[in-house]
Amino acid sequence: MKLEQIVARAIKSLKEAHKEITPEEFQRAFCKEMKKEGLTHEECDKLNKFISRLDEGYQKLVKGYAPKSMDELVQFLISQVNRLNPTEASEYLAAQSILLLKVLKAVKQLRHKEAAKLASTTLDKIENTKNTELLLTLAKSWDSLTANYKPNEFAAFEKYTLLKGYFLEEVANELKLAFEKNIQNFDDLALVVLDGLKPSFTKQMQKELELFAKKVLNEPTMISQKRVQSEIKSLVAKRIYLDNKEIKQKISEIDGMVTRCYAKISGITDANVSGAQKVGSIKKLIEESREGDFEAVKVKLSALVAALDNDISGALTALKEEHAQMVAMQQKIKSLESELESAKEEAGIDFLTKLANRKVIDEELEHFEGLFLRFKDNYSVVFFDIDYFKKINDTYGHMAGDVVLTSFAQILKKKSRDMDIVGRFGGEEFIAILPKTDIEGARTYAESIRVAVEKTKFIYKETRIEVTVSAGCAERKSTKSLKELIKTSDERLYKAKQNGRNRVFWA
């Protein structure tokens, strides 16, 4: 192997060990690599040559100290020379022994299995034996432990959070913060799940859902359990079934009322036909009266008038009854309509576009604002406004306007991520909340929506309607509050419309 390759390997080993590349460290690594290849070098043998020139006593001491460089050997020899005073040497050795015992006892308490075990063994040998060779063997064991030590005890936690600390206390604090954030995420997730389970139409599940909500709020982390996830799916399916059943029942009630109204109107019409026939008979009798038999006509006319009077009286009574029933049915219909409107609001859905309504948007903004204040999780807001929407309504009619709104909603949903929240803010104005997105990401998203709208063919009754959209973007970390974020985004939307429409403003 070439010398350059050995040098490269030596440098690589120092980098992998995160050691500073000093002349001493490089020489040590270089000599180690030379030894692996069965080679030798003058610089590598220099230390051993000096040690071999010492007397046997110093050689034994040096062997126990195990210097790794000429500097370490010189320092060791100086320390030995400075200990020529027997009293000072004895005191120093005693203090050194006490310090060694204290250090070993401290290491024994550390939560490192191999180090604690080796410290315990070393303490035992120092206190109970006087074998120099045994102590030198233990010294080599300590060298081996430190040489092979890799601080990867927390590698299993890297998938939960990036650990930057090196010492145990630092890592413990990082893990504590990570788990606190994880638990907070479970709290937020639990609230989202429970909001989704709130009854929209049916009230039959109210108690069952209250019990489930209480259980989840007491222990939000249980949402991660498969058993609880299956229970949530079951509750959702049951709620959808009961909602549909309730809606069908209310629609059936309204249909029944309409049918009864139709029947009553038909009855009134029939009564009017019968009355008209009787009036026709009277007219005919009057014509016949001109031919002479007035008494007979008078009798018949009296009978017809009495019958007609009776019919009118009955019709008036029936009309009064029908009027009362009609008023009651009208009140019932209004009540049902009010219930349906309340249910729509509770469901949090804009029923025309099937996007989130204003109520849900406000709740989601508060949710993401909370995450930003606690964890500095940045998010952005984009306001969209369909250009010249009033003109579309005036030119093509409100039904055409509804088609444009629902089509634009579909584009928004298609272009958004699962984590994004999109909704109808009011009229032709829409909003998108983009978690973990900076202003550049918001601009890219808004531009993709603008281009998609421009390219889409909006068709109503075989007529193509030209539609464009304007947008304004803002990110939370660049504003002082949620209120300012909304205001900034709305102002930029206004700028986009003032500067020609069909464009995105983000600054």
pLDDT tens for the 507 residues of the chain, in order = 577 888 788 888 888 877 777 777 777 788 888 888 777 777 777 777 777 877 777 777 777 777 777 767 776 776 666 654 445 555 666 676 777 777 777 777 766 777 778 888 887 877 777 676 777 787 778 777 776 666 666 666 655 566 666 556 666 666 666 655 555 556 656 666 666 666 555 667 777 777 777 777 777 777 777 787 778 777 777 777 777 777 667 666 655 655 665 565 555 555 555 555 555 555 555 555 554 555 565 566 566 666 666 766 666 677 677 777 777 777 777 776 666 666 655 667 888 898 999 999 999 999 999 989 988 899 999 999 999 999 999 999 999 999 999 999 999 999 999 899 999 999 999 999 999 999 999 999 999 999 999 999 999 988 999 999 999 999 999 999 999 999 999 999 999 999 999 999 999
- Regarding whether 327 and 293 lie in a shared domain, the answer is yes
Residue closest to 200 by CA, chosen among 345, 53, 390, 362:
345
Calpha distance 388→468 (Å, rounded): 8
- Regarding whether 487 and 398 lie in a shared domain, the answer is yes
- Regarding whether 336 and 365 lie in a shared domain, the answer is no
What are the angstrom distances between the C-alpha of 84 and each of 80, 81, 102, 389, 498? 7, 6, 26, 100, 93
Q: Is the CB of residue 427 less than 8 Å from the CB of residue 346?
A: no
Spatial CB neighbours of 173, under 8 Å, sequence gap ≥ 6: 165
Q: What is the pLDDT of residue 126?
A: 75
**Which pTM was predicted?**
0.41
Q: Is the CB of residue 372 less than 8 Å from the CB of residue 480?
A: no
Among 117, 148, 179, residue at a domain's last position: 148
Is 336 contained in some domain? yes
For residue 6, with 0-12 CB atoms within 10 Å meaning exposed, 13-18 middle and 19 or more buried, which class applies? buried
Is 155 contained in some domain? no
- Regarding whether 210 and 300 lie in a shared domain, the answer is yes
Number of domains in the chain: 3
**CATH number of the domain residue 450 falls in:** 3.30.70.270
180, 428, 475, 484: the active-site residue? 428
Is 153 contained in some domain? no
Among 148, 175, 203, residue at a domain's last position: 148
The secondary structure of 81-111 as a DSSP string is: HTT-SHHHHHHHHHHHHHHHHHHHHHHHHSS
Is 22 contained in some domain? yes
For residue 370, with 0-12 CB atoms within 10 Å meaning exposed, 13-18 middle and 19 or more buried, which class applies? middle
Is 428 one of the annotated active-site residues of the chain? yes
Is 156 contained in some domain? no
Among 87, 116, 148, residue at a domain's last position: 148
Domain range for 256? 166-347
Amino acid at 384: F
- Regarding whether 315 and 384 lie in a shared domain, the answer is no
DSSP class of residue 367?
Answer: H
Q: What is the pLDDT of residue 66?
A: 76
Q: What is the pLDDT of residue 337?
A: 66
- Regarding whether 256 and 114 lie in a shared domain, the answer is no
Helix extents (H) in 66-205: 70-81, 86-109, 113-128, 132-148, 168-197
Phi, psi (deg, nearest 5) at residue 423 = -160, 170
Task: Please state the separation of Cα 96 from the chain's center in Å.
Answer: 59
Q: What is the pLDDT of residue 416?
A: 94
- Regarding whether 100 and 18 lie in a shared domain, the answer is yes
